[in-house]
């Protein structure tokens, strides 16, 4: 039982870190606090770090798009953000979505493992976090595709890089098309960041719930140790006064 508890003990500090640590500082600080060498704990920390990196990359791409949009509105030449980079930003969003869906799948598998190990110690039925991760993975892409379709574009472009490039290059052949490509990139970027933040909140809730269950398991283990120790403690022997 001790091994099962220690497998996840290192993630006890992650809820606060998910809230308080800036994305750019996350990787170094996460790995500096983890001393538990168990596979599960380190894997969870790695997943958290990956998610924060995805958020950072998506935010940077979105900021670039918004900067280009602002420069266009001010009738300035897009010297620092040529039209080819707009396609690259859209490709960044598409890649991040694919990677984050894989991340959610890995988290779902970890949740199943945790539930199998700690179900006996949960005071109430455990939340099916695996189902929630799978739901996020299946709905987030549909949500963003819906945003693209709402602007008159094919939502499945997010899954076809060549189609992205062809569409954006065609749009960027005219000033009006360039404005439209920026609007599309901004919409998809905003949705991507929003969905990643939703995954971050899901991981935070999952970590908090796991910590509570781990606390119950640790208390149960300590109680069992106390009982065992008391059973094998010192005994004051008294001589039998009877004669034979």
Confidence (pLDDT) at 147? 82
Domain ranges of the chain: 2-226
Between 172 and 183, where is the model more confident?
Answer: 183
Q: Residues 84-99: pLDDT tens digits?
A: 477 788 888 888 988 9
Confidence (pLDDT) at 30? 34
Q: What is the pTM of this model?
A: 0.74
Q: Residues 101-124: pLDDT tens digits?
A: 999 999 999 999 888 888 888 778
What is each CA distance from 210 to 65, 202, 235, in whole angstroms? Answer: 38, 12, 40
Closest to 96 measured CA to CA, from 133, 66, 62, 58 = 58
Q: Give the sign of the dihedral formed by CA 39, CA 43, CA 44, CA 46.
A: positive
Q: Residues 130-144: pLDDT tens digits?
A: 999 999 999 998 888
Mean pLDDT of 32-60: 75
């Amino acid at each position: 039982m001790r091994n099962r508890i220690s497998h996840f003990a290192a993630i006890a500090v992650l809820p606060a870190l998910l809230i308080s640590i800036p994305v750019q500082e996350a990787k170094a600080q996460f790995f500096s606090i983890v001393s538990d060498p168990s596979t599960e704990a380190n894997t969870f920390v790695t997943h958290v770090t990956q998610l924060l990196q995805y958020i950072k990359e998506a935010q940077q791409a979105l900021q670039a798009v918004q900067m280009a949009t602002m420069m266009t509105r001010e009738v300035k030449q897009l010297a620092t953000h040529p039209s080819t980079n707009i396609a690259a930003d859209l490709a960044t969003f598409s890649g991040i979505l694919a990677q984050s869906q894989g991340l959610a799948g890995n988290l779902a598998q970890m949740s199943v493992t945790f539930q199998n190990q700690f179900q006996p110690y949960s005071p109430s039925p455990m939340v099916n976090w695996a189902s929630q991760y799978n739901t996020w993975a299946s709905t987030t892409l549909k949500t963003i595709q819906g945003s693209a379709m709402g602007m008159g574009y094919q939502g499945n472009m997010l899954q076809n890089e060549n189609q992205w490039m062809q569409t954006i290059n065609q749009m960027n052949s005219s000033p009006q098309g360039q404005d439209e490509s920026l609007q599309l990139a901004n919409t998809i970027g905003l949705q991507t960041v929003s969905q990643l933040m939703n995954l971050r909140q899901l991981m935070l809730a999952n970590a908090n719930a796991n910590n509570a269950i781990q606390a119950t398991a640790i208390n149960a283990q300590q109680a069992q140790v106390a009982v065992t120790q008391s059973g094998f403690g010192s005994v004051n022997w008294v001589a039998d006064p009877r004669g034979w």
